[in-house]
Amino acid sequence: MPQPSQHPRFSPIGMFDSGVGGLTVMQQIMKHLPHEQIIYFGDTARLPYGEKSGETIARYAIENTIFLMDKNIKLLVVACNTASAHSMSKLRQLFNVPMVDVIEAGVHQAVLTTKNQRIAVLGTKGTIQSAVYENEIRKHLPESVVISVACPLFTPLVEENFAAHPAAKLIVKEYLASLRKAQADTVILGCTHFPLLAPLIQEELPHVILVDPAVSCAAKVASLLSSSQLEANASMGFRNHSFYVSDDPHKFSVLATNFLGGALPSVEKVSAWK
Amino acid sequence: MPQPSQHPRFSPIGMFDSGVGGLTVMQQIMKHLPHEQIIYFGDTARLPYGEKSGETIARYAIENTIFLMDKNIKLLVVACNTASAHSMSKLRQLFNVPMVDVIEAGVHQAVLTTKNQRIAVLGTKGTIQSAVYENEIRKHLPESVVISVACPLFTPLVEENFAAHPAAKLIVKEYLASLRKAQADTVILGCTHFPLLAPLIQEELPHVILVDPAVSCAAKVASLLSSSQLEANASMGFRNHSFYVSDDPHKFSVLATNFLGGALPSVEKVSAWK
């Protein structure tokens, strides 16, 4: 933890997700900003967020943010599409900290990518029902056509290591059937688990460009820190990332290794809402 | 709600599950005990329970039971295998009310069914890791062989209406591969969602008898009420069942119709833990 006397650029970046999915975003941030210290909170006692109501998700997001604010973070990354969809305006209203969310980042990248202004969005039910991707895309490209597809089984398939199983292929085919004639040239992977199914999705839709919001999310974090003169640098030395979860730390560690491609330091169990 | 002056046999039966799955148990109770009034709580804001830690599940079970005790119930049904696996001893220690759980009921039925003392159990990861079915079966049949298989994708497949999809068939085949040579003659459907996959499971294991704990759970409720002289009767007239959930009531109503085979009366959103 930073000392009170230190410059805020020593403070950590805080990020939360419902579980391990946000680690795909963390990985991108670590790659782009190797000197930053990150505090990650996975709300594993209440996951998944994808099928729950907007009201409940917003409450969870507020509680998670209070937990991270208490750790003196200099920037908040909402690394969960469903939480981004339902809580950003509330979080921005309540908390005095710069924020980056995966949806804004994904939309930015998709708008730069599309040539024919036909963009598809794959997400959880919660994200799709919120229509937030659609609304955000239309702000930049009012004439665009946005095709949204809820893919609720993608997350459990990834969590259960079925991403390479023939059943996953059938389920991908089923969910994407409506997209085969939609002529979208750009497909947003609107859930942090979905990049792990990218090979199957690309096989089913060979002519589209897949957009992983994690990549532009990391770029946005970098530019925001830089413009606020809050970025860490090499002279600060190596500082450990911290991982907190609201349920079993061991299970998180095991799953996280698949996502981050390496062993985690310790994971601590906490309750964000007590 | 019953008046304080009324005999406790007027009081309702309370039951909880993480979501809609417990409605398969409710349906059996309604069939066997048509005069009973039932209060059902589905903890949909925190579902699923199946992959979470025992400690967290026990806490949720206690909170759910406090909510139901406050409704003056005469008997508690824990209609969720994972909650039964992790919380029964704690609940029995804390609360002064007769209790029936799906695991005890399922074991009872399986022990009566098996001829070769080889019993398989299908469940969530939480239920299987707890080894509670195994331990309970061995109390009755110490020489028996119990083969336990975690099937974590079965629940989301049912919830997403993929129970009849070719992908479900592949996933059933994958999970049950280890059972094909296990020579079990009895298979316990150790999760309230699994009866909806019974046709595929039976197709894969044509020579076994499938045990749905909901059936003997209802019988156990009937005998316990009768022996305690707590059963309702026709003279009490028709009383509405009540449904409470911790997240979106509308989503619960829609899903519940598939399980109960008819429209629900109103569903109320409450928080069991605040």
* Range in A5-19, A143-157, B70-84 the model is least confident about: A5-19
Nearest by CB to A56, from B56, B152, B247: name it.
Answer: B247
- Which residues lie closer than 8 Å to A146 by C-beta, 6 or more apart? A119, A120, A121, A133, A134, A137, A138
Q: Is B53's CB within 8 Å of A165's CB?
A: no
Quote the pLDDT of residue B274. Answer: 62
Quote the pLDDT of residue A197. Answer: 96
Tell me the pTM: 0.90
Q: Could you give the C-alpha distances from A163 to B16, B162, B257, in angstroms and in order?
A: 33, 17, 31
Res. A274 pLDDT band, cuts 50 70 90: low
Comparing CA positions, the residue from A270, A242, A267 lying closest to residue A253 is: A267
Tell me what percent of the residues of chain B surpass a pLDDT of 90. 84
Comparing CA positions, the residue from A132, A138, A174 lying closest to residue A153 is: A174
Q: Which of A38, A80, A120, A230 is labelled catalytic?
A: A80
* Alpha carbons A88 and A101: distance in angstroms, whole number: 8
Average pLDDT of chain B is 93
* Alpha carbons A66 and A175: distance in angstroms, whole number: 36
Q: Is A162's CB within 8 Å of B152's CB?
A: no
Tell me what percent of the residues of chain A surpass a pLDDT of 70. 97
- Which residues lie closer than 8 Å to A151 by C-beta, 6 or more apart? A122, A123, A124, A175, A191, A194
Comparing CA positions, the residue from B179, B123, B186, B114 lying closest to residue B150 is: B123
pLDDT surpasses 70 at B208: yes
* Alpha carbons A209 and B259: distance in angstroms, whole number: 40
Q: Could you give the C-alpha distances from A228 to A40, A56, A104, B152, in angstroms and in order?
A: 22, 33, 19, 45
Q: What is the pLDDT of residues B36-64, one digit of tens each?
A: 999 999 999 999 999 899 999 999 999 99
Q: Which residues of B touch A166 (CB under 8 A)?
A: 170
**Residue to substitute from A46, A51, A193, interface B, most B β-carbons within 10 A:** A51
Task: Give the other-Cβ count within 10 Å of A139's Cβ.
Answer: 9
Res. B10 pLDDT band, cuts 50 70 90: very high
Chain B: residue nearest A169 by CA? B167
Higher pLDDT, A4 or B85: B85
Q: What are phi and psi of A15, to 5 degrees?
A: -140, 150
**Residue to substitute from A56, A128, A176, interface B, most B β-carbons within 10 A:** A56
As for the ipTM of the complex, it is 0.87
pLDDT surpasses 80 at A80: yes
Q: Collect all residues from B whose CB is shorter than 8 A from any CB in A.
A: 44-46, 51-53, 56, 152-153, 156-157, 159-160, 162, 165-168, 170-171, 174, 246-248, 251
